[in-house]
Amino acid sequence: MLLAMALIAGSPMVAPGPDLPLVVLDPGHGGRDPGAIGVGGVPEKTLTLAAARAIRDALLASRRVRVAMTREDDRFVSLEQRTERARRMGAALFLSLHCDGATDAKASGGTIYTLSEVASDKEAARLAARENRADLLPGVDLRAAGADVASLLIDLAQRRTMEVSARYADLLEREAGVAMRLHPRPRRMAALAVLKAPDVPSVLFELGYVSNPQDLRFLGSAAGRAQLAASVRRATEIFLATRGPRR
């Protein structure tokens, strides 16, 4: 049965049920930003979009989630727009999809990133310094709070979000590790812009190296993307089924 399509905050969203949790998929790069260029000239932006579409279809097939994508075609979307759309839509999970590139063609495997604690501290301070703080945390108006109090509340919320993000990253590592090749050190932390939402669990998944022929063949094939999508679906279903109280 065809699923109804809705348009929310500029992002196409497939909505099988309004009460189901929302997963926002973020295909990296797009438009004037091709990302890394792979073997044979294949751009990262093409691979991430194809992977996101496969994951979207796998998630929707479960009929347990709604799915939105930050882009559904070859267009440029700023990093800030990507995370803000997820926050405005009340996403239960934000999964950003990228590919690595290296001068060493032997470098291979997927890596999974969550936000580092140092980045969390700096981001909390930056957000607390904003003039309009009314919408930084759901259900909390920080406009009357001093910068120190606001920074503390944001930091507490963000650290809770980091814990939840890490739990999803653990599940993703476990499930994806069965379906595809992961880097020998697959779990990492970094100050990546798309991971800094204080109230949305966020993970960035580098799907492999476009500079590695084997990784590229996997990501470029429908069969490879189907395996990837199935693993993300399993990790996501377990994550959402076992999460704590909703936002």
Average the pLDDT over 54-79 and give the result. Answer: 96
- pLDDT band per the 50, 70, 90 thresholds, residue 58: very high
Contact assessment for residue 222 and residue 185, using Cβ atoms and an 8 Å cutoff: no
pLDDT single digits (tens) 135-181: 444 544 444 455 555 555 666 667 788 899 999 999 999 999 999 99
Q: Helices marked H in 38-116 — which ranges?
A: 44-62, 79-88
Q: CA–CA separation, 84 vs 131, rounded Å?
A: 17
Q: CA–CA separation, 61 vs 63, rounded Å?
A: 5
**Mean pLDDT, the chain, whole residue set:** 83
Q: Helices marked H in 129-179 — which ranges?
A: 147-179
pLDDT of residue 15: 53
Average the pLDDT over 21-50 and give the result. Answer: 96
pLDDT single digits (tens) 171-218: 999 999 999 999 999 999 888 888 888 889 999 999 999 999 999 999
Q: CA–CA separation, 196 vs 203, rounded Å?
A: 10
Contact assessment for residue 101 and residue 213, using Cβ atoms and an 8 Å cutoff: no
Q: CA–CA separation, 92 vs 44, rounded Å?
A: 26
